[in-house]
Structure 1
Amino acid sequence: MSRTVYLNGEYLPESEAKVSIFDRGFLFADGVYEVTSVLGGKLLDFDGHATRLARSLNELEMTNPITKEDLLEVHRELVRRNGIDDGLIYLQITRGAADRDFAYPVEGTPATIVLFTQAKTGLADNPLAKTGIKVIGIEDLRWGRRDIKTVQLLYPSMGKMMAKAAGVHDAWMIEDGHITEGTSNNAYIVTDGKIVTRHLGHEILHGITRAAVLRFARESQMEVEERAFTVDEVKAADEAFITSASMFVMPVVEFDGIAIGTGAVGPVATRLREIYIEESRNSAV
């Protein structure tokens, strides 16, 4: 069955939704995006995603074309029209369509806003949460403003393919001997019961799931340290895990062919996943 998507104020069958070949998202990756999870027909962390969206647009000097209230209504309407119980809603806003020029188009050029759904039955019951995932390390070759959630995703896509070629699930990116983040997720290690994850800055995305998980960890009296950690620390860690909107909290059991800890899913990641899913369901809108 064809999905209903949202394009510039209209709900359309996906086959009828068209974007100009002159759209700057297509020509320059001049746009931002967000992905919001849906569990039981409700949105997880919507406020956080809407706030980060506004920040990303502001950092790129783009005017937000939709209010937070209207954006929430669009999300809910897409969930309703597409019968989404568990899944994802993808949102992208670009600077709009204009003749190709590196300079930004004239003020008042309409932005392009697109939203669509992806059904993911059993999103919270991912079997990988029981076995953990394996990752490799790759050099971080992205641009310097990774804190802006832009649609410039070519290198992360290449990283996913490097991981696939290596027979593992994902790649963690390395800069100056330290882990920055995964290709589409934030990275963590657990050492002597302490959760360590890179501090916020231009080097990593300010993950919405990251913020929620760290808050829940602290509320549960877990010790958290936000700092850069090295490849050697990963290999010597007791546990490791990632967080993202689509994976929630996902244990990592191997890095570059070396087992992390016992090589099995650990208790900290397991508990944080349980807490995150429970608390997020309770606060979903």
Structure 2
Amino acid sequence: MTTKTSTDTAAQASINAAARELHLPTVRAEAERLAEIAARERQTHRGYLAEVLAAEVDDRTERRRTRRINEAKFPRIKRLAEFNIDAVPSITPATLGHLAAGNYLDAGEPVVMLGDSGTGKTHLLIGLGLAACEQGRRVRYVTTAHLVNELVEAADERVLSRVVARYGRLDLLCLDELGYVQIDPRGAELLFQIITEREERASIAIATNLPFSEWGAVFPDPRLVAAIVDRVTFNAHILETGTQSYRLRTSKNTRRRAN
């Protein structure tokens, strides 16, 4: 028994050393526990190895998912499953399910959420971004005003190409609050660079309170407006959230259920 214990201890030490060298933290943490389970259940060597490697893969997937969510910089967590479909009848569960699957990302197709303030656009935008993160995709959420300011600062500091390339590498760019702030000509041209960088190659999801016919109130150059609208609507998935406040109806329903 002592000999077996010594052998097992030496084997565990070797596993720990190898796992540390190979950067396999879950193997190092779980190998001994899974070995005890394997012995009780009389698993084969292959069965035990499969369990150890599966644990490492699962843990690595979860760490990657968590990292993607943190890197996306969502202002809060909102899931598509939590969206109240009854409040916005024009958007069906099938539509959300199709988008959650992420096929539009593989095709580089845009998504546009159109509707008045409070109608659930940002919830949908974050929900799409979160679903993409959970698939291991690279996502970034940003308001239009913040992105334009970032681009202007990058241009002033002569690092614009680096910033544009960084946004170009994303699988999904979630652009919120387009239409709330007018953009000056320089900012509009810089934003156009980001949109062009992603055209038909990587998806952009936009939440806006303005119909496309009114985007001229945001972008001062009519030709630039036409070019931007053309790019964000080509093969786009357009979700109309309407004019009635989603937040107000949700709050009323919550109070009604509580009473």
Structure holding more helix per residue: 2
Return the structure number with greater relative CO, CA threshold 8 A, min gap 6. 2
Structure holding more strand per residue: 1
